[in-house]
Amino acid sequence: MNEIIIFAVISLTAIGVLSAVVLYFVAQKFKIIEDPRIDLVSEMLPGANCGGCGLAGCRAFAEQLVKSNDLAELNCPVGGAEVMKEVAAILGMEVEEKEPLIAVVRCNGSRINAAQKVIYDGATSCAFAHALGSGESGCPTGCLGLGDCVASCNFDAIYISAETGLPVVSEENCVACGACVKACPRNIIELRKKGKKDRRIFVSCVNTEKGGPARKNCQVACIGCGKCVKVCPFDAITLVNNLAYIDYDKCKLCRKCAPVCPTGAILEINFPLKKEKPADAGTEVENPVTA
């Protein structure tokens, strides 16, 4: 009896030791050396896994960061400058501080500005409605209001206003991850610089039709008249395909353009009310989304 137990113990121990030796050498041979900094950097990142950096998640971004020699092209929009600075410190590198961005909805075709002409009662999906037709107001480029952008946002930063039927971006919540930009089938949302004191000026329209047809569907469409281009002292505005676009790198927020726009397509956000009204203030159109 005893012998059997002793025999079993000895043989099992021998097998164990042998396996341990084999495993040790195998482990040595196939060892993967992971840079310990990846874990460190990974911990710094917000862990939102939103994809705003352009990679498959925070871990993938951490790997990319550690691999790269230059951080200029890499940015975590959620963590912002602070996190990037800490990450750079771990990696012993410098980062330029990136100005924060925010999602901007470039359509002001609310029910008031762009009257409804047909009723859409198909699937609640902007992508489908876009493939099917031009939308309830008839504007072929305007917001469809079915909320693909809202569904794509991980940060509760965008919602459809019940009053206007247009998406509204929350200044506090939006981290400029860009998910909504990708989700919108009409390319309406753009990431723009947040601006000093959150002040921004942009053309709130993406319609490239000629003035007549554009205006027919929407009162506040850009008609491509070029008045803003002429008045801008900093050459920040370009006119392509009947549509004005303000380059936010060149724009100095001087506010000359908005008053000259005959349709009120240029929006000024978060500016204090002007003290003295310009001569043609009468043409200024009330914009429900600016509120």
Partner 1 sequence: MRTFTKGGIHPPEDKLSADKPIEVLPLPAKVIIPLSQSLGAPSKLAVEKGDVVKVGQLIAKGEAFISSNVHASVSGKVTKIEEVMDASGYRRPAVLIDVEGDEWQEDIDRSDEIKMTITASPEEIIRRIYEMGVVGLGGATFPSHVKLRLPEGKKAEYLLINGVECEPYLTADHRVMLERGEEVVTGIRLLMHALKVEKAFIGIENNKPDAIAHLKELCSDTAGIEVIALKVKYPQGGEKQLIKAVTGRETPSGKLPLEVGCVVQNVGTALAVYEAVQKNKPLIDRIVTVTGKKLERPSNLKVRIGTPINELIAYCGGLPADTGKVIGGGPMMGKALYSIDVPVVKGTSGVLIMPGAESKRMAALNCIRCGRCVTVCPMGLEPILLAQLSENLLLERAEKERIMDCIECGSCQYTCPAGRPLLDFIRMGKNKTGIMIRNRGKK
Point out which residues bind ligand SF4 (CB under 6 A). 103, 105, 126, 143-149, 152-153, 155, 157-158, 167, 169, 174-180, 183-184, 186, 188-189
In terms of DSSP bridges, do strands 101-105 and 158-160 run parallel, antiparallel, or are they unpaired? unpaired
Report, in angstroms and rounded to the nearest whole number, the Rg of the chain calculated over CA atoms: 28
Q: Which does 249 bind (CB under 5 to 8 A by kind): partner 1, ligand SF4, none?
A: none
Q: Which does 64 bind (CB under 5 to 8 A by kind): partner 1, ligand SF4, none?
A: none
Contact 66, 37 (CB under 8 A): yes
Cα-based distances in Å from 276 to 26, 92, 260, 267, 281? 80, 52, 15, 18, 10
Q: Which does 103 bind (CB under 5 to 8 A by kind): partner 1, ligand SF4, none?
A: ligand SF4
- Count Cβ atoms below 10 Å from residue 194 Cβ, excluding itself: 19
Rank residues 78 and 214 by Cβ distance to partner 1 and give the closer one.
Answer: 214
Q: Which runs of consecutive H residues, i.e. helices, occur in 153-251? A: 179-183, 211-217, 227-231
Rank residues 16 and 133 by Cβ distance to ligand SF4 and give the closer one.
Answer: 133
Assigned token pair, 235:
């050459």
Rank residues 152 and 242 by Cβ distance to ligand SF4 and give the closer one.
Answer: 152
Those residues with Cβ within 8 angstroms of residue 79's Cβ, 6 or more apart along the chain or in another chain: 44, 45, 46
Q: Which does 149 bind (CB under 5 to 8 A by kind): ligand SF4, partner 1, none?
A: ligand SF4
State the residues that interact with partner 1 by CB under 8 A: 117-118, 121-125, 127-128, 131-135, 138, 140, 209, 213
Q: Which does 169 bind (CB under 5 to 8 A by kind): ligand SF4, partner 1, none?
A: ligand SF4
